[in-house]
């Protein structure tokens, strides 16, 4: 069995209650940090651990904490980004639902490290029952003296607030999240200034993903170096992967970074292979935003090396032959999946979720969706394919926030790897527009 | 005590060096170059959403994206992406490429395309035509054809108060009017609802703006989405004659432009500077009610750019250069008359030659008929 950091006790009955969680070693990190460590020492451990942001971008968390401005007399805030809405990603939901105290313990330790006296957990609006679970857990922790004034007699105060969002994908972008948290429309802000300088209520703010923060109790207990020893290279620690699609065993799995994609996909401990009687066709490795990979590039990189579940190995070869680990939404497609239809579906999502603030994303996502809809329904023409590539290029990098890039990458990569399928849709409009029709031509199936 | 002047920052914009104060944006630095030298007006990045008098505006339309080839003297690395010049502050030694970089111009072309996707091409009936920023932008940077074949989004027209009409179909969501309503007026009555290309400028629950300065949203609108109902469909702007005027107003500065058709005042707007920005907002009673010449003290004709269509048919003697192209044309076509031919004087030869010429002419006409 691989090492588990986050999900070790997740199946213990009653782990969502304070008593059971405490019995299994819970809140020891709070005791250790508040009684024996200074806040800078906690930050130092986070830096040593090399833990990278688990929300998608993979930016080292310790470094992000290091950027936090610390002017006198201005409060600092920690905001936990629990607005997980990336299609194909459901790990934070699972974590908060099953073991809420882990996040709360992580929030206490991290807030202490950053010197924040009021911290927020911004939860996606659809997850109302998770919000109730979290609020109940916070009440329990407060009753036991782990939250509130003068925690464990250390003189450190912390108030933890759970804020439901309105259910917008864009509010997972950190500055849009802060706008929404302040009570305004969730439009991403122009950067600079970055949240580390001017964030929530114009004060220095750190925004971290649920999974990143949940790693902190273990790091405090066992030390940053022990965490850095797990994993491979600059991808340290473990990662939750939300596996879905045409596999035998969909679900949330905790893996050590550096596990090979082949083992993750085919071993019975994890996904259990592509569903019986079918072949692997394509893979989206890190949530809908990352480039899609065709079968021959999934287990091996373009150089013939084994592809590993790590930030570096998945992005090997750049966007030409690689992808990204992203948020860990592992979506597997077998040969019954139509790539054009899938790309249209992703595009429809981004069109619907674009905030409408900057013009390339507002107009471009809608345009791409309409063109893809046309191709899928048998009304496309050959120049539409190049048009799509051109639109995606014009959106990418020219928008305020990364939603534009996220909308452009799946389309560009689908055309890069599955152009045949787009061409077939255009040359065979009648067959292609039948429900469930899939291109059966030259494909590299594994 | 001597005033301490901040150290000026030197940047290079399209190969031209300019010194500006710290905290200046790239856009303002470019405008400074153009203000110093008229002939360089073409290198200023276009702005569809940025509006200097409205803090926090900008960064949305992406029309002003430029490339920073060198971040600063200290850190000479180029910036990885194109940056919006309207909100990016200059650094010492920064090198900016705007019109000199083909990638920037290419991106700008695509921004025009994106903005025009959902913008109706109803310029022939739009009141903004002739003073529309999107028209200028598309004319300067856009391509002649669209690649967009799909249906455009449309909205019903909405009345915002008795004097303003919102035609959301034309809106490019620059948010200028939202910032105006937010900052010029004290109440937040005017915002954006919906998401993506379905977003709508809205006064919440269609509540009319009843503020003395609400009319300014018409002036800040870069397109014809917000129009003056007292002026709608009355006249084309290029048939009207703008005159600077002022009045004694206890609410605003009273400085305005009065637009005439003949002797009739057809509309009143605030004054705009070179960059199409209103610096002194005017109140609603000046804008909508004072529609008689006797309400105003005229100061003289408004200065209109020669490139603007508003200046058509309004010649100013001091600006007109004497046309010398006719003389030049005549000079190039000038031929010396060949005097070497002998003069024919006897009548017999003349008759003979005329008959010959006549035959030639008849022959030619016969040929052409066939």
Q: Report the C-alpha gap between B177 and B222 in whole angstroms.
A: 10
pLDDT by residue (tens digit) across A223-249? 999 999 999 999 999 999 999 999 999
> Would you state the pLDDT for residue A164?
95
Q: Establish if B45 touches chain A: CB-CB under 8 angstroms.
A: no
Q: Does ipTM surpass 0.85 in this model?
A: yes
Q: Establish if A352 touches chain B: CB-CB under 8 angstroms.
A: yes
Contact A351 B196 (CB under 8 A): yes
pLDDT by residue (tens digit) across B258-275? 999 988 999 999 999 988
Whether the full predicted model's pTM is greater than 0.90, yes or no, is: no
Q: Report the C-alpha gap between B181 and B345 in whole angstroms.
A: 89
Contact B59 A351 (CB under 8 A): no
Nearest to A16 by CA among A110, A100, A111, A105: A100
Q: Report the C-alpha gap between B180 and B200 in whole angstroms.
A: 16
Mean pLDDT for chain A overall: 93
A4: left (phi over 0), alpha (psi -120 to 50) or beta: beta
Q: Report the C-alpha gap between A196 and B333 in whole angstroms.
A: 73
> Would you state the pLDDT for residue B369?
67
Mean pLDDT for chain B overall: 87
pLDDT by residue (tens digit) across A372-426? 999 999 999 999 999 999 999 999 999 999 999 999 999 999 999 999 999 999 9
Strands (E) across A8-117 are located at: 77-82
Nearest to A273 by CA among A283, A281, A263, A286: A263
Among chain A residues, the shortest Cα distance to B57 is held by A190
**Block residue for tokens 């002194």:** B280
Confidence of residue B314 (pLDDT cuts 50, 70, 90): low
Nearest to B161 by CA among B237, B216, B234: B216
pLDDT by residue (tens digit) across B143-176? 888 899 899 999 999 888 888 999 999 999 999 9
Indicate if the pLDDT at residue A445 is higher than 70.
Answer: no
Beta bridge partners of A240: A254
> Would you state the pLDDT for residue A442?
62
- A369-398 residues touching B, CB cutoff 8 A: 370-371, 374, 387, 394, 397-398
pLDDT by residue (tens digit) across A140-161? 999 999 999 999 999 999 999 9
> Would you state the pLDDT for residue B345?
76
The mean per-residue pLDDT over the stretch B313-319 comes to 62
Nearest to A237 by CA among A253, A258, A265, A221: A258
Give the minimum alpha-carbon distance from A86 to chain B in angstroms, rounded to a whole number.
17
> Would you state the pLDDT for residue B323?
63
> Would you state the pLDDT for residue B365?
80
- In sequence order, what are the residues at sequence separation of 6 or more whose Cβ sits closer than 8 angstroms to the Cβ of residue B161? B208, B209, B210, B214
pLDDT by residue (tens digit) across B211-232? 888 889 999 999 999 999 999 9
> Would you state the pLDDT for residue A22?
95
> Would you state the pLDDT for residue B316?
61
pLDDT by residue (tens digit) across B332-368? 777 776 667 667 778 888 888 888 888 888 888 877 7
Distances from the Cα of B308 to the Cα of B40, B180, B211, B303, angstroms: 17, 26, 32, 11
Q: Are A324 and A315 in contact (CB under 8 A)?
A: yes
Indicate if the pLDDT at residue B81 is higher than 90.
Answer: yes
pLDDT by residue (tens digit) across A285-308? 999 999 999 999 999 998 999 999
pLDDT by residue (tens digit) across B20-60? 999 999 999 999 999 998 888 889 999 999 999 998 899 99
> Would you state the pLDDT for residue B212?
84
> Would you state the pLDDT for residue A1?
54
- B160-219 residues touching A, CB cutoff 8 A: 172-173, 175, 191-192, 194-199
């Amino acid at each position: 069995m691989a090492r588990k950091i986050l999900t070790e006790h997740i199946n213990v009955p009653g782990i969502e209650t304070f008593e059971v969680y405490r019995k299994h070693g819970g809140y020891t990190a709070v005791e250790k940090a508040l009684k024996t460590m200074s806040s800078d020492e906690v930050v130092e451990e986070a830096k040593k651990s090399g833990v990278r942001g688990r929300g998608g971008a993979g930016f080292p968390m310790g470094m992000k904490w290091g950027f936090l401005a610390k002017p006198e007399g201005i409060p600092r805030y920690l905001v936990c980004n629990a607005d997980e809405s990336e299609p194909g990603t459901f790990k934070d939901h699972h974590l908060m639902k099953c073991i809420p105290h882990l996040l709360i313990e992580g929030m206490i330790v991290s807030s202490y490290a950053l010197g924040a006296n009021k911290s927020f957990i911004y939860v996606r609006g659809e997850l109302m029952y998770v919000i109730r679970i979290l609020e109940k857990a916070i009440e329990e922790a407060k009753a036991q003296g782990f939250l509130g004034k003068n925690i464990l007699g250390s003189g450190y105060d912390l108030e933890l607030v759970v804020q439901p969002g309105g259910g917008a994908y864009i509010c997972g972008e950190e500055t849009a999240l802060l706008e929404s948290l302040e009570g305004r429309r969730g439009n991403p802000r122009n950067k600079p200034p970055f949240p580390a300088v001017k964030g929530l209520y114009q004060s220095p703010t750190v925004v971290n993903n649920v999974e990143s923060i949940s790693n902190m109790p273990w790091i405090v207990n066992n030390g940053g170096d022990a965490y850095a020893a797990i994993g491979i290279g600059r991808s340290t620690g473990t990662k939750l992967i939300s596996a879905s699609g045409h596999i035998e065993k969909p679900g949330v799995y905790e893996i050590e970074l550096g596990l090979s994609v082949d083992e993750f996909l085919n071993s019975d401990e994890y996904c259990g292979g592509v569903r019986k009687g079918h072949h692997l066709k394509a893979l989206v490795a890190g949530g809908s935003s990352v480039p899609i990979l065709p079968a021959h590039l999934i287990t091996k990189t373009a150089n013939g090396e084994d592809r590993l579940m790590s930030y570096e190995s998945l992005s090997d070869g750049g966007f030409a032959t690689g992808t990204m680990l992203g948020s860990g939404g592992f979506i597997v497609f077998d040969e019954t999946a139509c790539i054009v239809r899938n790309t249209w579906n992703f595009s429809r999502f981004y069109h619907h979720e674009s905030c409408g603030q900057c013009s390339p994303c507002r107009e471009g996502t809608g345009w791409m969706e309409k063109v893809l809809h046309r191709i899928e329904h048998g009304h496309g023409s050959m120049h539409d394919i190049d048009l799509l590539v051109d639109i995606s290029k014009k959106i990418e990098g020219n928008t305020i926030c990364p939603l534009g890039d996220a909308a452009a990458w799946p389309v560009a990569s689908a055309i890069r790897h599955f152009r045949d399928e787009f061409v077939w849709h255009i040359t065979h409009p009648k067959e292609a527009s039948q429900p469930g029709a899939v291109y059966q031509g030259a494909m590299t199936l594994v | 005590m001597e005033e301490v002047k901040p150290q000026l920052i030197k940047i290079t914009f399209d190969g031209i060096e300019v010194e500006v104060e710290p905290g200046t944006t790239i856009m303002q630095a470019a405008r400074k170059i153009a203000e110093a030298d008229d002939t360089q007006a073409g290198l200023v990045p276009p702005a569809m959403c940025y509006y200097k008098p409205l803090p926090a505006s900008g960064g949305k339309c992406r029309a002003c994206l430029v490339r920073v080839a060198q971040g600063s003297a200290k850190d000479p690395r180029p910036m990885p992406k194109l940056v919006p010049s309207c909100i990016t502050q200059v650094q010492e030694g920064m090198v900016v490429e705007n019109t000199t970089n083909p990638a920037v111009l290419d991106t700008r072309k695509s921004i025009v395309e994106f903005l025009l996707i959902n913008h109706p091409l109803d310029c022939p009936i739009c009141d903004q035509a002739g003073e529309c920023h999107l028209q200028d932008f598309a004319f300067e940077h856009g391509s002649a054809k669209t690649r967009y074949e799909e249906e455009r989004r449309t909205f019903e027209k909405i009345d915002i108060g008795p004097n303003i009409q919102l035609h959301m179909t034309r809106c490019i969501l620059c948010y200028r009017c939202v910032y105006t309503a937010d900052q010029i007026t004290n109440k937040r009555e005017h915002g954006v609802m919906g998401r993506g290309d379905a977003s709508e400028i809205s006064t919440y629950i269609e509540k009319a703006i009843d503020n003395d300065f609400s009319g300014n949203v018409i002036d800040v609108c870069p397109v014809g989405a917000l129009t003056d109902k007292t002026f709608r469909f009355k006249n084309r702007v290029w048939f009207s004659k703008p005159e600077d005027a002022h009045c004694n107003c206890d609410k605003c500065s009273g400085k305005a432009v009065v637009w005439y058709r003949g002797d009739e005042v057809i509309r009143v707007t605030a004054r705009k500077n070179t960059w199409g920005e209103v610096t002194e907002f005017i109140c609603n009673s000046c804008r909508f009610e004072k529609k008689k010449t006797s309400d105003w003290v005229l100061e003289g004709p408004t200065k209109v750019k020669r490139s603007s269509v508003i200046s058509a048919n309004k010649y100013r003697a001091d600006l007109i250069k004497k046309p010398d192209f006719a003389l030049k044309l005549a000079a190039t076509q000038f031929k010396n008359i060949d005097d070497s031919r002998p003069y024919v004087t006897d009548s017999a030869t003349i008759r003979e030659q005329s008959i010959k010429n006549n035959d030639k002419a008849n022959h030619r006409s016969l040929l052409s008929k066939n």
